[in-house]
A and B are shown apart, each in its own frame.
Chain A
């Protein structure tokens, strides 16, 4: 199979106007991904499935990622020549910026016919609140149906064009999306003998330590 940069260039040539970005993965697994833009996603997905050289006919995994809004510090290093004639000094300039929150869907594609894969696709929403609609890829790969329902249930991403978009794990009347980072589960903590971590924080909240009572004055 062609490499991912080659594939990106071929897609860019075939779909003018499509914003296809190669997202590199710095971890040892090096599973780089292609980030597609929402308007062209389904056409590109159909191309990936039907192209004779790719034939990515199986979608094994659909999952979601929640990226909450966070502050990022960019460090730019510049060398400043010393006016006194000494060695140039390295100066670090730190700029803060707010990285907006967003939700992401990841698709893993394989080819049964040609035996290659995975090709990883990513789709990103506009934000985490109101622009959470993405095109469904269930019309392209039927196996994405239940997994997109799961992503809708747990992350709250709305898939446009999904044949049956309902919650799949939680009940229909449930209002939250439990896999989002800012989800807080209902507080029905129950005493445990050895709490630790988050559970310890809850334990302290529910069972506060007694205020130290002044000990009775010892009789002489």
Chain B
């Protein structure tokens, strides 16, 4: 908890948990607010490739994402909080993914699910697949796997909830939707003559360092 004024003053987390065990609930606005947000993360009903099948499995009865409050897959980005980029993002699809992200209202979060969404995966050296969606939109949670098991998606969701619970609601560390001047839109790339233009969002994806490979002797 970064801003102590919204927490119960003069009490440590350990003491607070001790009080909770004895049935005394002592809380602050920030904790209550984030607790509510973290248990109603509504994902966008949006799948790209085989990872989407695992995402669907996670939402069904056997794995039951409803246990974590995320069963309400919204068909409209206007009503969604979470974009699960589940699968290969082709360069033809990338502008649409960024457009969906821009259409989602804040607060919004993004999970890159699977090797393709993280880095391009097995298609990284190809001509038509984006080398990771984090070149264009800010990604909160990366779930490795090809495809990840539904349990891995649930784990990623729990990690996202943990991240939401630890967000401050004021100050410089506050999330975008609580900062008046924060720009929540990502520029949408265009499909050019040979590649998408630009190939990355420079604000999010810095140029890789000039790495030198030592010669083998």
| A-to-B contact residues, CB < 8 Å | 169-171, 173-176, 178, 183, 185-186, 188, 190-192, 198-199, 203-204, 207-210, 212
Residue of B at shortest CB range from A199? B125
Given A203-B213, A207-B212, A209-B215, A186-B131 contact (CB < 8 Å): no
Instruction: Kindly state the separation between the CA atoms of A139 and B43 in the bound complex, as whole angstroms.
Output: 45
Q: Does B5 contact A (CB under 8 A)?
A: no
Which residues of A lie under 8 Å from residue B182 when comparing CB positions? none
Q: Are B126 and A185 in contact (CB under 8 A)?
A: yes
Which residues of A lie under 8 Å from residue B210 when comparing CB positions? 207
Q: Are A210 and B127 in contact (CB under 8 A)?
A: no
Instruction: Kindly state the separation between the CA atoms of A186 and B191 in the bound complex, as whole angstroms.
Output: 13
Instruction: Kindly state the separation between the CA atoms of A217 and B77 in the bound complex, as whole angstroms.
Output: 65
Listed from nearest, the 10 A-B pairs whose CB atoms lie closest are A185-B127, A186-B195, A171-B191, A209-B215, A175-B193, A210-B212, A171-B92, A207-B213, A207-B211, A178-B127
Interface size of B by CB at 8 A reads 22
Q: Are A173 and B193 in contact (CB under 8 A)?
A: yes
Residue of A at shortest CB range from B92? A171
Q: Are A173 and B212 in contact (CB under 8 A)?
A: no
Which residues of A lie under 8 Å from residue B91 when comparing CB positions? 171
Which residues of A lie under 8 Å from residue B211 when comparing CB positions? 191, 207
- Kindly identify which residue among B119, B124, B127, B208 contacts A186, using a CB–CB cutoff of 8 Å: B127
Instruction: Kindly state the separation between the CA atoms of A182 and B91 in the bound complex, as whole angstroms.
Output: 21
B61 vs chain A, min Cβ distance (A): 36
State the total of A-B contacts with C-beta under 8 angstroms: 54
| B-to-A contact residues, CB < 8 Å | 91-92, 119, 124-128, 131, 191-195, 199, 208, 210-215
Q: Are B208 and A173 in contact (CB under 8 A)?
A: no
Which residues of A lie under 8 Å from residue B213 when comparing CB positions? 203-204, 207-210
B5 vs chain A, min Cβ distance (A): 44
Residue of A at shortest CB range from B192? A173
Residue of A at shortest CB range from B212? A210
Where chain B touches its partner, the secondary structure class is loop
Q: Jot down 5 A-B pairs with beta carbons below 8 A, ordered by A.
A: A174-B193, A176-B194, A186-B127, A198-B125, A209-B213
Which residues of A lie under 8 Å from residue B127 when comparing CB positions? 178, 183, 185-186
Instruction: Kindly state the separation between the CA atoms of A191 and B193 in the bound complex, as whole angstroms.
Output: 25
Instruction: Kindly state the separation between the CA atoms of A178 and B125 in the bound complex, as whole angstroms.
Output: 13
Q: Are B212 and A208 in contact (CB under 8 A)?
A: yes
Which residues of A lie under 8 Å from residue B208 when comparing CB positions? 190-191
Residue of A at shortest CB range from B120? A190
Q: Are A186 and B194 in contact (CB under 8 A)?
A: yes
Instruction: Kindly state the separation between the CA atoms of A81 and B131 in the bound complex, as whole angstroms.
Output: 66
Instruction: Kindly state the separation between the CA atoms of A198 and B124 in the bound complex, as whole angstroms.
Output: 13
Q: Are A178 and B212 in contact (CB under 8 A)?
A: no
Q: Are A170 and B128 in contact (CB under 8 A)?
A: yes
Instruction: Kindly state the separation between the CA atoms of A18 and B32 in the bound complex, as whole angstroms.
Output: 82
Q: Are A188 and B212 in contact (CB under 8 A)?
A: no
A190 vs chain B, min Cβ distance (A): 6
Which residues of B lie under 8 Å from residue A191 when comparing CB positions? 208, 211
Instruction: Kindly state the separation between the CA atoms of A21 and B214 in the bound complex, as whole angstroms.
Output: 56
Given A171-B92, A174-B193, A190-B126 contact (CB < 8 Å): no
Instruction: Kindly state the separation between the CA atoms of A76 and B106 in the bound complex, as whole angstroms.
Output: 76
Instruction: Kindly state the separation between the CA atoms of A178 and B210 in the bound complex, as whole angstroms.
Output: 29
Residue of A at shortest CB range from B213? A207
Residue of B at shortest CB range from A179? B127
Q: Are A174 and B194 in contact (CB under 8 A)?
A: yes
A110 vs chain B, min Cβ distance (A): 30
Instruction: Kindly state the separation between the CA atoms of A44 and B194 in the bound complex, as whole angstroms.
Output: 38
Which residues of B lie under 8 Å from residue A198 when comparing CB positions? 125
A184 vs chain B, min Cβ distance (A): 9
Q: Are A190 and B212 in contact (CB under 8 A)?
A: no
Further contacts, 19 of them, CB under 8 A, given A186-B194, A192-B124, A204-B213: A169-B92, A169-B128, A170-B128, A171-B91, A173-B191, A175-B194, A178-B128, A185-B126, A185-B127, A186-B199, A188-B131, A188-B195, A190-B131, A207-B210, A207-B212, A209-B212, A209-B213, A210-B214, A210-B215
